[in-house]
């Protein structure tokens, strides 16, 4: 018997088992009838405890949420300031063992443009095509497609930008976003990602702070597999 | 390595209770997670509403599971994923080993997945000649030690950093250290090397979205992103019950799961994977295979009480809340799924015959039901399973029931007394008179050997804890005298 045939048989057995067992439950089942009738499950909007946006700007809330999970947030008012912030972060990193000499970039035009204005010496600044090479970089610089204020989350969409590994393998991840990309809630971000007729990207990644673990005696350790530092520059 | 089994639960529990270090670690972990869960739940003003909503969504999925599964498969395959159906653990392992072997794979990196623990995938992969590396830090530690996870969220909760340091020194040859940051970075360095060499990445799945064919996986460390991004083949193993109807349903479950599990508002990373990469030059694996596992799950659909076990999202909140788990930890259950949810899932997955002690590993206090983000009535399930055990015992099957002849007589006597007020009053007076023989300083402590032999049930109770004696005045006497005063 070939694998395709075996798979078809397994599929049929499982589906039949599901149907038979569900049918067996109907006699004793009150939920069953309720749910079958009420086809569309009731949906209440987002009622999370996020602060009202009119008194509290999305950017401030985003920064507060990000800092609460050990991320760093720098708010700038122009592209020139963004370049300056980037230079500041990299110069500071050079005082640490994190080096910041080899920089991996995503292919976002904004990232290229800002980095080209940095007057710093590097061993390497490039868009890394080969995954195997990405291991040796010190810093990854990317943009993001959306951000969530109430959780301090970046939303990365793999079809829009090549940033899957640049945001993951280097010990430092710097993301540059525009304030207009920030939405208030997780629900809004999900609705934006998946619009009614739109296709989803192959991979969408939500990032909330640097990589962390508490697997040894519940002691927090930052940067176990992913970046140990996360900076987000928000351009107003 | 010899792992305890569910058949010897009572002995396992006794061993665990004698382990002071384990109990200290459990105390810290369960109380910390309990507090964090509570404050995270309070950060939302509609927690109870969310729980009901989540349960409604899950009920809807389970009642239409065949339809949603077919929708999920259709959507995922339309976007380049390949789906394999596995009736049991054996079939699942076979598919995964075959996929790896066909590609001449040598190194498999794994991210934490209860489902792959359930099917003992590592053993199969190793038997097929592959090197398997667990990449979640906690799982990596217990893999090095040759042990099993003891908690759903913190697998190595039973180990101290000193033990882990000794393990790393022995197995990885590092200098002894008790610095958690150093231990963590050691693991990072070694695992980075394995990630670079890996041919296959195996992950679990937290949620599958029927509407879009998306799989969603949550984590904090980043090893799942590495597992699902670097190797050219990604295999995701998913129980058939993991579905949600719509993409937007994630909103509800991404609020509930991290808060219930670790007390976070969101875990550090969520990976939402929909099919394979769209352009050949894109980052990510070339192939995505999803293995749908039944392994006893469809059977649970047959009754509304057992069916709710399939609503579980594996957050671990019931473990932390359970006074039994808090004392004995995960290993004592002798099963992949520990704690209250394990005590109901394990017997259903692997049959009551060898797991009949598990449904009794509970005082039915209801703490698990209170914290469950999808409102699973675990005490009800435990009672349901207990009654099944009793019935199968009476039918003379091999499941070990506990209703002995003496117990049946005792219950008949109890019924006689409790349904006749005069007899109840009389018996209570007799008991009140008799207990004077054993009450010491206002409580009934450990019985003498001869007394324990005379009333073995009471002896068993007082061997471990005190019993509160009956009040010297009965409630009815109180009531009458208060009424008299009122007049």
Better-scored residue on pLDDT, A125 or B401: A125
The pair of three-digit structure tokens given for residue A18, joined into one six-digit string? 């599901």
| B86 contacts B118 by C-beta, under 8 angstroms | no
> What is the tens place of the pLDDT at every residue in B284-308?
999 999 999 999 999 999 999 999 9
**pLDDT the model gives residue B451:** 80
Kindly list the distances between the CA atom of residue A52 and the CA atoms of A58, A209, B61, in Å, as whole numbers in the listed order.
9, 23, 34
What is the average per-residue pLDDT within A144-152?
Answer: 96
- Where does the pLDDT of residue B322 fall: very low under 50, low under 70, confident under 90, or very high at 90 and above? very high
> What is the tens place of the pLDDT at every residue in B24-62?
999 999 999 999 999 999 988 899 999 999 999 999 999
What is the average per-residue pLDDT within B118-130?
Answer: 97
- Segment among B102-116, B290-304, B471-485 with least mean pLDDT: B471-485
A17 touching chain B per CB within 8 A: yes
Nearest-Cα distance to chain A for B198, in Å, is 11
Tell me the C-alpha distance between A32 and A38, whole Å: 10
**Which residues 232-261 on chain B approach chain A with CB closer than 8 angstroms?**
240, 245, 247-248, 250-251, 254-255
Tell me the C-alpha distance between A207 and A230, whole Å: 10
What is the average per-residue pLDDT within B139-148?
Answer: 94
Q: Which of B247, B281, B304 sits opposite A29 (nearest CB)?
A: B304
The pair of three-digit structure tokens given for residue B263, joined into one six-digit string? 């007390």
Nearest-Cα distance to chain A for B12, in Å, is 23
**Which residues 137-156 on chain A approach chain B with CB closer than 8 angstroms?**
150-151, 153
**pLDDT the model gives residue B166:** 94
On chain A, the residues whose CB falls within 8 A of the CB of B299 are 17, 21
Kindly tell me if the per-residue pLDDT of B191 is higher than 50.
yes
> What is the tens place of the pLDDT at every residue in A59-81?
999 999 999 999 999 999 999 99
Kindly tell me if the per-residue pLDDT of B324 is higher than 70.
yes
Kindly tell me if the per-residue pLDDT of B450 is higher than 90.
no
On chain A, the residues whose CB falls within 8 A of the CB of B91 are 10
**pLDDT the model gives residue A41:** 42
CB pairs under 8 A between A and B: 253
On chain B, the residues whose CB falls within 8 A of the CB of A35 are 56, 59-60, 63
**pLDDT the model gives residue A34:** 52
Q: Which of B164, B187, B225 sits opposite A168 (nearest CB)?
A: B225
What is the average per-residue pLDDT within B69-74?
Answer: 96
Contact B268 A194 (CB under 8 A): no
**pLDDT the model gives residue A31:** 58
Better-scored residue on pLDDT, A14 or B176: A14
Kindly tell me if the per-residue pLDDT of A36 is higher than 90.
no
Contacts for B294 with CB less than 8 Å, ≥ 6 apart: A14, A17, B85, B86, B87, B88, B240
Residue A110 C-alpha from the chain's centroid: 18
B476 touching chain A per CB within 8 A: no
Task: Indicate whether this model's pTM tops 0.95.
Answer: no
B187 touching chain A per CB within 8 A: yes
Tell me the C-alpha distance between B186 and B168, whole Å: 9
**pLDDT the model gives residue A43:** 40
- Where does the pLDDT of residue B236 fall: very low under 50, low under 70, confident under 90, or very high at 90 and above? very high
The pair of three-digit structure tokens given for residue B474, joined into one six-digit string? 């009965």
> pLDDT averaged over chain B?
93
% of chain B at pLDDT higher than 90: 79
Contact B273 A32 (CB under 8 A): no
> What is the tens place of the pLDDT at every residue in B403-425?
577 778 888 999 999 999 999 99
ipTM: 0.90
**pLDDT the model gives residue B380:** 96
**Residue whose structure tokens are 């069916």:** B307
| B99 contacts B82 by C-beta, under 8 angstroms | no
B275 touching chain A per CB within 8 A: yes
% of chain B at pLDDT higher than 70: 98
| B123 contacts B117 by C-beta, under 8 angstroms | no
Which of helix, strand or coil describes residue A178? strand
**pLDDT the model gives residue B406:** 76
Contact A15 B84 (CB under 8 A): no
Kindly tell me if the per-residue pLDDT of B127 is higher than 70.
yes
- Where does the pLDDT of residue B382 fall: very low under 50, low under 70, confident under 90, or very high at 90 and above? very high
Helix (H) or strand (E) holding A37: helix A31-37
The pair of three-digit structure tokens given for residue B148, joined into one six-digit string? 């099993």
> What is the tens place of the pLDDT at every residue in B326-352?
999 999 999 999 999 999 999 999 899
> What is the tens place of the pLDDT at every residue in B239-277?
999 999 999 999 999 999 999 999 999 999 999 999 999
Tell me the C-alpha distance between A165 and B196, whole Å: 13
What is the average per-residue pLDDT within A137-162?
Answer: 96
- Segment among A15-29, B423-437, B473-487 with least mean pLDDT: A15-29
Nearest-Cα distance to chain B for A4, in Å, is 9
- Where does the pLDDT of residue A42 fall: very low under 50, low under 70, confident under 90, or very high at 90 and above? very low
Q: Which of B45, B183, B303 sits opposite A49 (nearest CB)?
A: B45
On chain B, the residues whose CB falls within 8 A of the CB of A213 are 137-138, 184, 220-221
| B358 contacts B342 by C-beta, under 8 angstroms | yes
On chain A, the residues whose CB falls within 8 A of the CB of B60 are 35, 41
**pLDDT the model gives residue B461:** 84
B59 touching chain A per CB within 8 A: yes
**Residue whose structure tokens are 């899932």:** B345
On chain A, the residues whose CB falls within 8 A of the CB of B274 are 200-204
Kindly tell me if the per-residue pLDDT of A53 is higher than 50.
no
**pLDDT the model gives residue A48:** 45
Which of helix, strand or coil describes residue A40? coil
What is the average per-residue pLDDT within B181-185?
Answer: 93
Contacts for A233 with CB less than 8 Å, ≥ 6 apart: A74, A75, A76, A82, A85, A86, A174, A175, A176, A177
On chain B, the residues whose CB falls within 8 A of the CB of A208 are 265-269
- Where does the pLDDT of residue A30 fall: very low under 50, low under 70, confident under 90, or very high at 90 and above? low
**pLDDT the model gives residue B14:** 93
Kindly tell me if the per-residue pLDDT of A24 is higher than 50.
yes
């Amino acid at each position: 018997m070939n694998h395709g045939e075996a798979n078809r048989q397994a599929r049929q057995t499982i589906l039949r088992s599901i149907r038979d067992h569900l049918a067996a439950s109907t006699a004793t089942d009150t939920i069953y009838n309720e749910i079958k009738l009420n086809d569309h499950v009731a949906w209440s909007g987002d009622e999370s405890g996020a602060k009202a946006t009119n008194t509290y700007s999305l950017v401030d809330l985003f920064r507060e949420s990000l800092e609460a999970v050990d991320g760093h947030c720098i708010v700038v008012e122009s592209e020139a300031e963004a370049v300056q912030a980037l230079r500041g972060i990299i110069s500071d990193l050079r005082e640490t063992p994190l080096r910041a000499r080899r920089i991996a970039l995503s292919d976002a035009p904004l990232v290229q443009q800002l980095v080209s204005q940095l007057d710093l010496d590097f061993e390497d600044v490039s868009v890394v095509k080969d995954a195997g090479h990405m291991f040796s970089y010190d810093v990854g610089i990317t943009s993001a497609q959306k951000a969530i204020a109430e959780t301090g989350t970046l939303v990365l969409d793999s079809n829009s930008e090549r940033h899957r590994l640049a945001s993951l393998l280097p010990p430092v991840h710097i993301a540059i976003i525009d304030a207009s990309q920030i939405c208030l809630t997780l629900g809004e971000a999900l609705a934006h990602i998946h619009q009614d007729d739109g296709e989803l990207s192959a991979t969408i990644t939500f990032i909330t702070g640097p990589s962390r673990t508490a697997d040894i005696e519940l002691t927090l350790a930052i940067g176990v597999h992913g970046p140990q530092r996360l900076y987000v520059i928000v351009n107003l | 390595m010899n792992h305890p089994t569910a058949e010897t639960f009572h002995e396992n529990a006794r061993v665990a209770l004698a382990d002071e270090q384990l109990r200290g670690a459990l105390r810290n972990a369960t109380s910390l997670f309990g507090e964090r869960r509570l404050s995270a739940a309070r950060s939302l003003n509609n927690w109870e509403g969310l729980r009901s909503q989540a349960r409604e969504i899950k009920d809807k999925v389970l009642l239409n599971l065949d339809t949603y599964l077919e929708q999920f498969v259709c959507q995922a395959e339309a976007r380049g994923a390949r789906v394999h159906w596995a009736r049991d653990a054996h079939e699942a392992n076979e598919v995964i080993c075959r996929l790896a072997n066909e590609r001449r794979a040598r190194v498999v990196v794994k991210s934490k997945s209860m489902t792959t623990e359930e099917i003992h995938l590592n053993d199969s992969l190793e038997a097929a000649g592959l090197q398997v590396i667990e990449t979640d830090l906690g799982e990596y530690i217990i893999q090095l030690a040759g042990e099993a996870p003891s908690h759903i969220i913190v697998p190595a909760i039973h180990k101290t950093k000193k033990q882990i340091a000794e393990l790393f020194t022995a197995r990885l040859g590092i200098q002894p250290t008790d610095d958690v940051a150093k231990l963590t970075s050691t693991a990072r360095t070694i695992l980075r090397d394995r990630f670079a060499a890996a041919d296959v990445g195996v992950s679990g799945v937290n949620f599958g979205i029927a509407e879009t064919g998306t799989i969603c996986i949550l984590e904090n460390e980043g090893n799942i992103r590495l597992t699902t991004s670097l190797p050219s083949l990604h295999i995701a193993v998913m129980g058939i019950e993991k579905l949600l109807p719509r993409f937007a349903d994630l909103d509800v479950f991404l609020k509930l799961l991290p808060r219930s599990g670790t007390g976070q508002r969101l875990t550090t990373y969520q990976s939402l994977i929909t099919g394979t990469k769209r352009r050949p030059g894109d980052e990510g694996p070339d192939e995505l295979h999803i293995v749908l596992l039944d392994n006893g799950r469809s059977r649970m659909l047959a009754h509304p009480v057992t069916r709710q076990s399939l609503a579980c999202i594996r957050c671990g909140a019931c473990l932390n809340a359970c006074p039994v788990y808090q004392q004995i930890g995960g290993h004592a259950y002798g099963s992949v799924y520990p704690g209250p949810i394990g005590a109901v899932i394990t017997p259903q997955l692997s049959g009551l015959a060898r797991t009949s002690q598990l449904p009794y590993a509970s005082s039915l206090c209801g703490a698990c039901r209170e914290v469950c983000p999808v409102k699973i009535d675990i005490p009800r399930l435990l009672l349901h399973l207990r009654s099944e055990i009793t019935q199968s015992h009476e039918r003379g099957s091999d499941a070990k029931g506990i209703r002995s002849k003496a117990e049946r007589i005792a219950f008949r006597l109890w019924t006689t007394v409790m349904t006749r007020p005069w007899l109840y009053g009389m018996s209570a007076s007799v008991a009140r008179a008799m207990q004077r023989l054993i009450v010491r300083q206002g409580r009934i402590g450990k019985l003498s050997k001869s007394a324990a032999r005379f009333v073995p049930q009471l002896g068993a109770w007082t061997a471990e804890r005190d019993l509160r004696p009956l009040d010297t005045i009965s409630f009815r006497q109180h009531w009458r005298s208060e009424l008299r005063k009122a007049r």
